[in-house]
Amino acid sequence: MGLLNDRRDYQRQPENEFTLQGCQVIPSFLDKEECDRLIQMADCYLRSHSYSITGNCYLVNRKDLKIQAADMQVRQIVNAQEVDDKLSQLFHSQVIEELFEQSMGEKLRLRSITIKIDDPDTQTKRGFHTDGVTPPTYKAFIYLNDVDDYGDGPYTVIPGSHRHTLRRITNYLYSQALAVFSRPTTYEQKEDIKLFYSDQQAVPIFAKAGTLILSNQQLVHKGWHNHDRKRRYALVCYLVSKKHDPGYDFNLYRYTAITQAGLNEEAIKV
């Protein structure tokens, strides 16, 4: 029922590039100097394990997550707005929310700004998926370095697939069945998309540092699987429609990652 309600909501939205395609690219949102500064800042916090930084800001190393076997070369500085004044200003400015609202005609809340660091990986990249099933969530990706080639691991989408309700329902049921019957060492997630879509239909988003990508996360998407050239840095802004706002602090993977890393949270604060 939730997916059918989402479909009706999409039909009520104004028709424009974002609402029809599920994503929109906005060049030169940040300048190169600011992108370089954020990369340097991120490097200061990188470690080989998940740990608390300060307050609700923490580093997640995906290899510490025993709940999945994908994206093992990804690290995320979650709630980075808590450790950087300029990101805090962006977080409170409403600029990101307004970009979405202009296209969608509804209010969103920015929940977190995360710095995502993807190291080259040709083995464990997660395939096509959506972020959750329902209700839709939204992300704004800002590339911090140039993504010019497939080997740079571009954000890759199936345009318009957020409106493919029946195809996504079929995929979710199929993935759930795989999860039930899979071997214990195999990790299937219900949001994985294995049917109907292929790389031939996909659009990789190549762009220069500072480019902003608005994205509906019911869109079928992935990071390009043959990421073999260089590390990719990006800001990832997590948003939710105010009518679906859970109302609690953003804590993606926090307790799972730190517990699985076998570390005491209080002992590893810096």
Q: Residue 93: which CATH number?
A: 2.60.120.620
Return the residue matching tokens 């464990």. 124
173-186 pLDDT tens trace = 988 888 777 654 44
Tell me, rounded to whole angstroms, the distance of Cα 180 from its chain centroid: 26
Give the per-residue pLDDT at 270: 31
Say if 73 falls within a structural domain.
Answer: yes
Say if 120 falls within a structural domain.
Answer: yes
Range of the domain at 132: 2-261
Say if 257 falls within a structural domain.
Answer: yes
Give the per-residue pLDDT at 183: 58
Say if 66 falls within a structural domain.
Answer: yes
Rounded CA separation 235/98 (Å):
17
Tell me how long the chain is.
270
Rounded CA separation 176/195 (Å):
13
80 DSSP assignment: G
Say if 268 falls within a structural domain.
Answer: no
In the structure encoding, which two tokens stand for residue 135, read together? 């209700």
Alpha helices in the chain (DSSP H): 2-12, 17-21, 32-45, 85-93, 95-104, 165-181, 254-260
Enter the pTM of the model.
0.92
Any residues with CB less than 8 A from the CB of 267 and at least 6 apart, and which?
none
One-letter amino acid of 165: T
Structural domain count, the chain:
1
Q: Mean pLDDT, 10 residues at a time, over the chain (270 residues)? A: 86 94 98 98 95 94 81 96 98 98 95 97 95 94 98 98 94 84 61 94 98 98 96 98 89 76 45
One-letter amino acid of 131: D
217-269 pLDDT tens trace = 999 999 999 999 999 999 999 999 999 888 888 998 887 766 665 554 443 43
Say if 267 falls within a structural domain.
Answer: no
Say if 122 falls within a structural domain.
Answer: yes
